[in-house]
Amino acid sequence: KVSAVVFDKTNTLTEAGLDLLGVQAARQGSEPVFLGLEGSLDGLVAVTTAATDAADGLSVVSALATCHSLHVVDGALVGDPLEAKMLEFTGWRIDEGGLAPGSGSGMAPSMMVYPPGTKCTDPVLSGSVVDMQLAGAAGAASDAPGRAYPGGLEVARVFEFASELRRSSVVVRHPYSSSAQVYAKGAPETIRELCVASTVPADVDQAVERYTQGGYRVIGLAGRRIDLSPGDTGRLERAVAERDLVFMGLLVFENRLKPATAGVLRELRDADIRLLMCTGDNPLTA
């Protein structure tokens, strides 16, 4: 007689991947506070235009579009599925085939990222210029970041995710700018420790706990402006790039249950069978 059933979690009880439920941005001021959780690009652009975007040129949308290690291979995104969801949320597109306009360095950037409504040289299409305008609401919602960065953004340096550091970061610049932005994402407690204390909302721990106890995965987001010439980008040390950051908000991901999960578990419980779940996730999140 069966007395207990042990289930794997991911891709058994839940879907294989994570979905970006929304972004809870932080508004800077004398006392930084969280804005509401925004589950659409439209809403995120609206609330951050006068909030985090005003702080040293930082943009939550730009951070989502650039703070990753994704690449395009044969026309498809390759890399961390979580990062792919971030990029998909923004509607921005990657171009690894062209020079940064106006860079004057004679060297190709590691990557250019363009907002919807702009055009870029797509290496997949043999150098042809392709229209990046998205159909529907996603394209319309992106007008604001598109106007802010009409030439796209260069991801000039990537500091890959390291498990011992629990974070990753990028150095991003507008092709015509003499300054750059650093964007970092990772475990909320790690990101918080890298930030200037006065930029972190007082209730950040409570916010993270609320989401994790609800079964969501939470990622912290931060950034800062840095005076950095293109020639010095390669010599920038990671510890220098990732210090004195401005806290920008939380990314909230959900791992959705498969449609049949609830019914199956209910039947087993009604039969007095003990149910156990085996997972490597944080116990609070799982």
CA–CA separation, 87 vs 70, rounded Å? 9
Q: CA-CA-CA-CA torsion for 238, 220, 42, 98, nearest 10 degrees?
A: 20
Rg (CA), the chain: 21
The total number of residues written for the chain in this structure: 286
Question: 199 — phi, psi (to 5°)?
Answer: -100, -5
Q: Are 251 and 86 in contact (CB under 8 A)?
A: yes
Q: Which of 99, 110, 223 is nearest to 151 (CA)?
A: 99
Residue 100 near residue 154 (C-beta atoms within 8 A): yes
CB 43, CB 93: distance < 8 Å: no
Is 272 annotated in the active site?
no
Structure tokens at 79: 């890399």
SS (H, E, C) 63-116: HHHHCCCCEEECCEEECCHHHHHHHHHHCCEEECCCCCCCCCCCCCCCCEEECC
Catalytic residue IDs: 8
